[in-house]
């Protein structure tokens, strides 16, 4: 089993990361992809993935930080992704119109630049979206990257169906286990298994029964168990298929 999206460089893990990674291993989480939200965090993610053989990383600037983007940051990101074999994706990038921490036009510009870079480098894009699905789809349509996952999918099926039809993937987190998440469960049910990834988005969004606590990669097993039950299939089968998807998407070892 693989946690395809966690934030191990987050300071919530700074006191006990070796134990967090050991607990994941004990739960059979063989590989993890740690995701950056800024260029500074990208460097930390690269260092972590150089330190732990089972950790890989994505480098990119989150829409919350789009306002800090400078013109030569595309070149910086290009250099960062070339600096380590462990960099397997550009992310997380995208649009967040819920918090609006950066002006929307700036978010669109920075998302477009990074998505184009992912395409140029033939790297998968790890995409974040909140209350911005139409603008997000328009930019994806314009760039047409080779590989993309809409992570922490909270969208209605009808809103993401065009992306799935284009061959892109959906990532599901612990949100799927929350009582009020019927719409997300419906999307998970309709998503083809061959286009599904499992993730925690740790340290945030801990799945039931850990809700309210700090999330960690070991808990991706709870997300998997819940979705297996939802789809009426053995956990082993869901694990095998989604692990295969993650291995192919990020170029990991199986």
> Left, alpha or beta for 8 (phi > 0: left; psi -120 to 50: alpha)?
alpha
10 in contact with Zn ion (CB under 5 A): no
**Is the CB of 128 or the CB of 147 nearer to Zn ion?**
128
Nearest-approach distance from CB 17 to Zn ion, in angstroms: 17
Q: Are 228 and 196 in contact (CB under 8 A)?
A: no
Which residue's Cβ lies closest to Zn ion? 128
How many residues of this chain bind Zn ion (CB under 5 A)?
2
- How many Cα neighbours within 13 Å face the side chain of 237? 8
128 in contact with Zn ion (CB under 5 A): yes
**Is the CB of 65 or the CB of 128 nearer to Zn ion?**
128
**Is the CB of 89 or the CB of 218 nearer to Zn ion?**
89
Residues 134-163 contacting Zn ion, CB under 5 A? none
CB atoms closer than 10 angstroms to residue 38 = 17
**Is the CB of 6 or the CB of 227 nearer to Zn ion?**
6
Nearest-approach distance from CB 193 to Zn ion, in angstroms: 23
Nearest-approach distance from CB 161 to Zn ion, in angstroms: 21
- Strand order through the sheet with 125-130: 2-6, 31-35, 55-59, 87-96, 125-130, 148-150, 169-172, 196-198
User: Coil, strand, or helix at residue 25?
Assistant: helix
Q: Which of 10, 41, 201, 239 binds Zn ion (CB under 5 A)?
A: 201
**Is the CB of 214 or the CB of 235 nearer to Zn ion?**
214
- Backbone angles phi and psi of 57, in degrees to 5: -145, 165
Which residues make up the interface to Zn ion (CB under 5 A)? 128, 201
């Amino acid at each position: 089993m693989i946690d395809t999206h966690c934030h191990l460089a987050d300071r919530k893990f700074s006191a006990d990361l070796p134990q967090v990674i050991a607990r994941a291993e004990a739960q059979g989480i063989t590989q993890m992809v740690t995701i950056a939200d800024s260029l500074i965090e990208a460097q930390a993610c690269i260092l972590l993935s150089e330190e732990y053989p089972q950790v890989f990383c994505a480098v990119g600037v989150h829409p919350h930080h789009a306002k800090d983007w400078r013109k030569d940051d595309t070149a910086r990101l290009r250099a960062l992704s070339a600096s380590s074999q462990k960099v397997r994706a550009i992310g997380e990038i995208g649009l967040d119109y819920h918090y609006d921490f950066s002006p929307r036009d700036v978010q669109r510009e920075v998302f477009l630049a990074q998505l184009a870079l992912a395409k140029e480098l033939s790297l998968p894009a790890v995409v974040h979206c909140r209350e911005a699905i139409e603008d997000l789809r328009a930019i994806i349509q314009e760039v047409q990257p080779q590989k993309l996952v809409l992570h922490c999918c909270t969208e209605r099926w009808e809103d993401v169906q065009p992306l799935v039809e284009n061959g892109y993937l959906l990532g599901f987190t612990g949100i799927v286990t929350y009582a009020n998440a019927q719409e997300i469960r419906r999307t998970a049910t309709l998503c083809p298994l061959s286009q599904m990834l499992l993730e925690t988005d740790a340290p945030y969004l801990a799945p039931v029964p850990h809700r309210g606590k700090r999330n960690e990669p070991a808990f991706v097993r709870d997300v998997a168990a819940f979705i297996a039950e939802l789809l009426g299939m053995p956990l082993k089968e869901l694990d095998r298929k989604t692990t295969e998807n993650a291995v192919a998407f990020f170029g990991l070892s199986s």
